[in-house]
């Protein structure tokens, strides 16, 4: 069954039902017979006159966009994670063709990644004047974020604003078409309960010790000052979102080097919530057991300080979770296959897919440690979740027809 939505720019404030069929206008999700028509005349753009005009968007129920939330502070490696995720689906992600060169959006065949910085309601000057950081909810338009993510989920294209990180200004909006998978990444994907309820899966990247570096041309001193200034808002508005995440990738100092203060070797934990629909946590050796494993030896080359894996049940922010942990770093990525062969529920399509993905992006930061490994695993789990949702929708439709 396809749900068709009529969207008109001149009647944004009312809602009514169409009872007789109308001539369909097929968008990118085609070939579905139309049974049901509803109208949706909600405001989904800040600039109604630039909305879609009189348009009909038809999306088959089973093809409706699934939405993934990725929360993290600035400079935590979200872009790198997104490149790994996109690669799992095949194809590269690129900014919208012919659009604003400073767009924060990345589009591939399957995924569209939008950056929630685009929902800043105050630009750089506005925040300065008001004395608020970008992390403060008062600097962000959650109503618009909700309306637009909801619209995309319903198969409606939206005109999303662009926050220009180069100029610090809000640029004219860009058109976002509903993709198969929409990733909303940034500071607040799980902050507003309305937006949170739209998420099919949520991830929090917890990298407490690393922040924005020279990329945006700030000096080390100004970065330190900015980290300090942001800390209270980070603690108040960003960090609490961990409690809502279905998966958390937590980066900690190694425990393999006593009193390590170099911070080069990392202990990374993949914290996976139990009982999440379409998400089976990964396990090592034996599901539900508590395992500690040092794989170094004949099949895995390890230089000092070695590699240690751990797995087991735990509780996190009041939720039952499974935790997979890796401390240390790989010397030879091709040998990762040995570790991969001891992991289960990894949602690979063939033996060695994790190792293949990691080798393909060996030059990405974090490829020799748990950050790259767990980001790749989460990418595979998202692909699996997507496929399971589509399968279940098709099943539900077939049962409804029978
Ligand atoms: N797993 C990792 N380990 C070490 N460094 C990393 C890792 N991932 C990313 N980095 C480095 O951190 C910096 C920020 O990475 P990236 O651009 O992916 O983060 P981001 O969260 O998207 O940043 P921003 O919010 O600034 O757009 C880059 O210098 C990148 O090389
Ligand atoms: O926390 C951030 C998310 O990336 C940025 O600091 C925020 O978007 C403001 O950006 P800029 O510093 O470029 O004005």
215 and 72 share one domain: yes
Distance in angstroms (rounded) separating the CA atoms of residues 100 and 77 = 23
ipTM: 0.94
Which atom of ligand 1 is nearest to 375's Cα? 1
131 and 27 share one domain: no
Task: Decide if 221 is inside a domain.
Answer: yes
C-beta separation of 95 from 78 below 8 A: no
Alpha carbon of 376 to ligand 2 centroid (Å): 26
C-beta separation of 377 from 354 below 8 A: yes
Residues within 6 Å of ligand 1 by CB:
72, 74-80, 212-213, 365-366, 371-372
Residues whose CB is less than 8 angstroms from the CB of residue 221 and which lie 6 or more positions away in sequence, other chains included = none
Task: Decide if 396 is inside a domain.
Answer: no
**Residue 160 Cα distances to 65, 107, 126, 153, 329, angstroms:** 16, 14, 19, 14, 40
Q: What is the pLDDT of residue 219?
A: 55
Distance in angstroms (rounded) separating the CA atoms of residues 255 and 13 = 58
Q: What is the pLDDT of residue 34?
A: 29
147 and 285 share one domain: no
β partners of residue 111: 181
Backbone φ and ψ for 381, nearest 5 degrees, come out as -65, -35
Backbone φ and ψ for 132, nearest 5 degrees, come out as -125, 155
Backbone φ and ψ for 370, nearest 5 degrees, come out as -65, -20
Pocket flag, ligand 2, residue 124 (CB < 6 Å): yes
Q: Per residue in 126-135, pLDDT tens?
A: 999 999 999 9
Tell which wins on pLDDT, 379 or 13.
379
270 and 298 share one domain: yes
Three-class DSSP category at 161: strand
- CA nearest neighbour of 267 among 283, 284, 281, 249: 249
User: 250: domain range?
Assistant: 246-379
106 and 36 share one domain: no
Q: Give the CATH number, domain containing residue 149.
A: 3.40.50.300
Q: Per residue in 119-169, pLDDT tens?
A: 999 999 999 999 999 999 999 999 999 999 999 999 999 999 999 999 999
Total domains present in the chain = 3
374 and 286 share one domain: yes
Shortest-distance ligand to the CA of residue 371: 1
Distance in angstroms (rounded) separating the CA atoms of residues 167 and 369 = 35
74 and 203 share one domain: yes
């Amino acid at each position: 069954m396809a749900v068709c939505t009529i969207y008109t720019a001149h009647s944004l404030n009312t809602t009514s039902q169409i009872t007789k069929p109308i001539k369909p206008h097929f968008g990118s999700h085609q070939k579905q017979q139309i049974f049901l028509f509803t109208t949706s005349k909600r405001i989904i753009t800040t600039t109604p006159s630039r909305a879609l005009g009189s348009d009909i968007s038809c999306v088959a129920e089973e093809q409706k966009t699934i939405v993934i939330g990725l929360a993290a502070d600035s400079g935590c490696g979200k872009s790198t994670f997104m490149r790994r995720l996109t690669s799992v689906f095949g194809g590269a992600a690129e900014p919208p063709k012919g659009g604003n060169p400073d767009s924060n959006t990345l589009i591939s065949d399957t995924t569209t990644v939008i950056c929630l910085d685009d929902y800043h309601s105050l630009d750089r000057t506005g925040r300065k004047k008001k004395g608020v950081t970008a992390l403060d909810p008062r600097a962000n338009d959650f109503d618009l974020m909700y309306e637009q993510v909801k619209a995309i989920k319903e198969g409606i294209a939206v005109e999303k604003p662009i926050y220009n990180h180069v100029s610090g200004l809000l640029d004219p909006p860009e058109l976002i078409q509903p993709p198969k998978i929409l990733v909303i990444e940034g500071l607040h994907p799980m902050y507003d309960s309305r937006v949170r309820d739209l998420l099919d899966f949520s991830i929090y990247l917890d990298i407490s010790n690393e922040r924005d570096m020279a990329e945006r041309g700030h000096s080390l001193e100004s970065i330190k000052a900015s980290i300090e200034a942001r800390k209270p808002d980070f603690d108040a508005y960003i960090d609490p979102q961990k409690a809502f995440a279905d998966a958390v990738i937590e980066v900690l100092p190694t425990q393999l080097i006593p009193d390590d203060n170099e911070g080069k070797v990392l202990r990374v934990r993949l914290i996976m919530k139990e009982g999440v629909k379409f998400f089976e946590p990964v396990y090592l050796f034996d599901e539900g057991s508590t395992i500690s494993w040092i794989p170094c030896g004949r099949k895995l080359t390890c230089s000092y300080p070695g590699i240690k894996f751990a797995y087991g049940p735990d509780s996190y922010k009041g939720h039952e979770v499974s935790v997979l942990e890796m401390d240390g770093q790989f010397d030879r990525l091709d040998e990762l296959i040995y570790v991969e062969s001891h992991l289960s529920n990894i949602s690979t399509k063939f033996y060695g897919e994790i190792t293949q993905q990691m080798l393909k992006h060996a030059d990405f930061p974090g490829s020799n440690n748990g950050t790259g490994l767990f980001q790749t695993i989460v990418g595979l789990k998202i692909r699996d979740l997507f496929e399971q949702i589509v399968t279940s929708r098709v099943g539900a439709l077939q049962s409804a027809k029978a």
